[in-house]
Structure 1
């Protein structure tokens, strides 16, 4: 696994949901804050996104994509007008049921949501801004454009196997949206810079590829091809914690994901994340999470799932 794959896998729950819709005339719909992430893609026409809290309206044109990684509440509308626009917004769940994909003109959108477990969000995802706007530019992000085209076709006309194809394409779209942000934020974001630095990226890749290995600072520095002080300095500056502290955090975060998503016994999970046995693993887990692995597993499985939209 790599850092981006692991970061997404650690928080993703269940299957994402999506809609393809066309709206005409004067329209305005509200999406309430959501315990997950959402996205919109403009296939045709244009609209405005008005975030909660009075942020600047975002103009979305044909081919534009926008990711809301923290589930920010917002309004989609045909115009950027002020409070009066928000006041007349119809809840999206009701609005989506009143419109279809047929008919000429207007604005056509792909909209979707991902359910996320925010109890242990990887700092890479936490660093994402509330709104990631990816304007359509000729020749840019061809993989993102391809995923959008494929998803749009599946939602417009379901074919054999669509029940498997659509969730897979939605997962692929999320990866490409995060990749696009990483590429655009390379000069300003801590984690884009970390993944772009050959030393820190090599160390992160090693830790995520085999978190159970008996890593030491010396061994990790050799893997990255630098001295131990150089690794410690660059890794800590970019990641925000020393290499071994990050490894401990990631091992326990990965263990929490395994507890939530699998029925594997504690001994097996302990081994997979680098602990000699259940006792040492339980002690470390309790210190990090404030609860035992068994209780954590029970609580996560009994927690009501967020409603799908």
Structure 2
């Protein structure tokens, strides 16, 4: 299965909330961290350089201009201007950002959160952290986003480092989508949706599930497409995805139904498209995956779109 096709479908299904914690610059002896808030987080280097310190005993990671780190778990860590983990550094207030003042490090730091079962599947599939490098040719298209964030922080409506422009959160959203696509193409993603797509015996099945979610997808039929017995299919699919095939199918169907609802389909048409003839059965499945009834979910989405971007929190 074409990985980009899977990525594009997934990006259209994700509900991502990004909160910018602060945007500004440090100078002198400083230390900063987003750990301890039970959220995934990120640090983007807008100018200057710094060092990322993770677990004890691991080498520090140098970060330069247009580099970034996405911590997909709430990991103990800190960023500092020194590669020496034991250097005596104290938290210092972040100053307003300027355009590359010598001896300073410009950062955009924040948190992101996925909603719904598909977001959990994504996070469980990814490594604990991802370092984005400016010299990575596969990520060059994302480089202008750093410049846009820097320009917005310097010239936009940012009264202080702790009150950045809401536009920066939207730019960070786009940047993270580049990271998702980048990681999805790597070979070290060992579980979840990506693993299913990369297993040659499952890729044709996943392609057909996305194309025809409303078909009668019995375990026997899915196993047949994978050229396995029912027992072998269930065992290997669970090992790859972390979920039984039937549960995985419901997850995909409800996310596809949500996309149809957002595109303007009626509830009945969205339900029929993913194989449900009973409104009650569809509603129960939708609430289990999406957290609310389909009608309420659509109203919430419409209110959000009419009211503009969600408020930062």
TM-score, normalised relative to structure 2:
0.67
Contact 2:126 2:189 (8 Å CA) reproduced: no
Contact 2:124 2:191 (8 Å CA) reproduced: no
1:125-204 equivalences in 2 (<5 Å): 125-134=123-132, 141-147=136-142, 149-157=143-151, 170-184=172-186, 186-187=187-188, 189-191=190-192, 192-204=194-206
Structure 1 residues 228-262: Cα deviation after superposition (integer angstroms, max 9, x where no partner): 55755543331233433310233235556777x68
Matched with 2:28 is: 25
1:95-114 equivalences in 2 (<5 Å): 95=94, 98-114=96-112
Could you say if the C-alpha distance between residues 254 and 18 of structure 1 is closer, same or farther in structure 2, counting changes exceeding 3 Å? farther
**Are positions 1:275 and 2:268 aligned together?**
no
Structure 1 residues 183-207: Cα deviation after superposition (integer angstroms, max 9, x where no partner): 44x2562244433222222222322
Contact 1:65 1:135 (8 Å CA) reproduced: yes
Task: Give 5+ residue unaligned stretches, structure 1.
Answer: none
TM-score, normalised relative to structure 1:
0.68
Contact 1:37 1:116 (8 Å CA) reproduced: no
1:244-259 equivalences in 2 (<5 Å): 244-255=246-257
Could you say if the C-alpha distance between residues 272 and 284 of structure 1 is closer, same or farther in structure 2, counting changes exceeding 3 Å? same
CA distance in 2, matches of 1:290, 1:64: 34
Matched with 2:161 is: none
CA distance in 1, matches of 2:273, 2:265: 10
CA displacement at 1:276 relative to structure 2: 1.0
- After superposition, the CA RMSD in angstroms is 4.5
Aligned residue pairs total 289
CA distance in 1, matches of 2:297, 2:57: 38
CA distance in 2, matches of 1:44, 1:290: 40
